[in-house]
Structure 1
Amino acid sequence: MIVLVGASASGKTEIAKILYNKYKMVKAITHTTRPQRKKEVNGVDYFFVSKDEFLHLEKQNAFVETTEYSGQFYGCTKAQVAQNKIVIVDPNGLRAFLNLNDKHIITFLISSDEGTRYERMLRRGDNIEQALSRIKNDRDEFHHLRVGYVHFEIINEDNTLEQAADRVFRLYNSMLRNLNLKPK
């Protein structure tokens, strides 16, 4: 399983899409209570659910990890993890996956500078206040997450999405070979 962690608009979702389209890898679809964006599809990008539905699933112990970000809930179900997919998480989610102590889980920190991320947020439809709030929240949330906590850090700037995805794929398969596991 590939676990991608990174600040808002660092490119996690776009890298996951490239891995899916180019390498036929499968992205774990997480549940969220946040509003659906214009180009997002329910059941493809996320499972968009109400807060009540989310809390019901959480009460049933359906999630490996859950988090609240900017007043919205996110969670990855055990069913998605069992299928060895790509999952996108925040630092708390990363900790939950690391606590599984599963050698099949390979972790990547996706990084971009704040200016690049701010521009991406505005392009995808966030307003200025939302973008600045996300950057501040990310600063607080990610300041203690360093490369030693993940297997690899991938620097992702606008012109390198494809190269970043290629690097994730190569490093993932290299790790699997080193662990004597079957590469993708």
Structure 2
Amino acid sequence: MTSANRRGLLIILSSPSGAGKSTLAKRLRAWDDSIVFSVSATTRTPRPGEVNGVDYHFVSQEEFKAIVRDGGMLEHAHVFGNFYGSPKAVVQDAIESGQDVLFDVDWQGAQQIRNSALGPHTLSIFLLPPSIIELRRRLESRGQDSAETIARRMQKSWDEISHWDGYDFVLVNDDLDATEERLKTIVSATRLRRLQQPELTDHVRNLQSEFDEIS
């Protein structure tokens, strides 16, 4: 089935920091490069090298709040003094054209998307680490954060993990390659969900007409 014959999916991938979400998101897109990342809107200042419309949609606080008031955000949050959110219109256009959109959001963002008008087309997946010890080891092996920062990340990670049961699928990422295969299987199967195939109704009507003709 081609993408032109189905509706796209809103693929939500969430996990605590260090559970492999970024790596698996890249692998998912390498497997099917028609999957696009949702480009978030933000009120923060662009960092060197960031491109408007590619890395983020950079907007003022007034613009952001106006979009929220008009119902134009699938999800939004206020983080460390700045607003972040996922514009609805571009996602709506994508799924109607049969394109899957990948979201890297936390449990709160995932909940907002699932409760939105596009919620029925959502596929939400949560990644768990094999153990807390392994999760901490992965964070420490990056060599980028102080002990204090790692401790904060670990606390935030547990907050994320506590919401694992709000997702459609939960995968324990104890083996990256195996988790990747399970992730691809889930996406492939969900693309075949009845709701994602708008042409099925016409096909069944045609079958009914054929049946009536030979009866």
Alignment TM-score, normalising by the size of structure 1: 0.75
Aligned length: 174
Deviation at 1:95, TM superposition (A): 0.9
C-alpha change, 1:8 and 1:179, in structure 2 (3 Å) is same
C-alpha change, 1:120 and 1:45, in structure 2 (3 Å) is farther
1:4 aligns with 13
Given the alignment of the two structures, is residue 88 of structure 1 paired with residue 104 of structure 2, yes or no? yes
Structure 1, unmatched stretches of 5+, are: none
- The two structures, once aligned, show a CA RMSD in angstroms of 3.1
1:30 aligns with 40
Deviation at 1:109, TM superposition (A): 0.6
Match of 2:155 among 123, 136, 148: 136
**Stretch of structure 1 that moved more, 133-142 or 65-74:** 65-74
Given the alignment of the two structures, is residue 21 of structure 1 paired with residue 30 of structure 2, yes or no? yes
Deviation at 1:43, TM superposition (A): 5.9
2:67 aligns with 60
Given the alignment of the two structures, is residue 177 of structure 1 paired with residue 192 of structure 2, yes or no? yes
Q: Is the 8 A contact 2:123 2:168 kept in 1?
A: yes
Larger Rg: 2
Given the alignment of the two structures, is residue 152 of structure 1 paired with residue 160 of structure 2, yes or no? no
Counterpart-to-counterpart distance in 1, 2:61 and 2:171: 31
C-alpha change, 1:72 and 1:136, in structure 2 (3 Å) is farther
Match of 2:181 among 151, 154, 166: 166
Counterpart-to-counterpart distance in 2, 1:64 and 1:156: 28
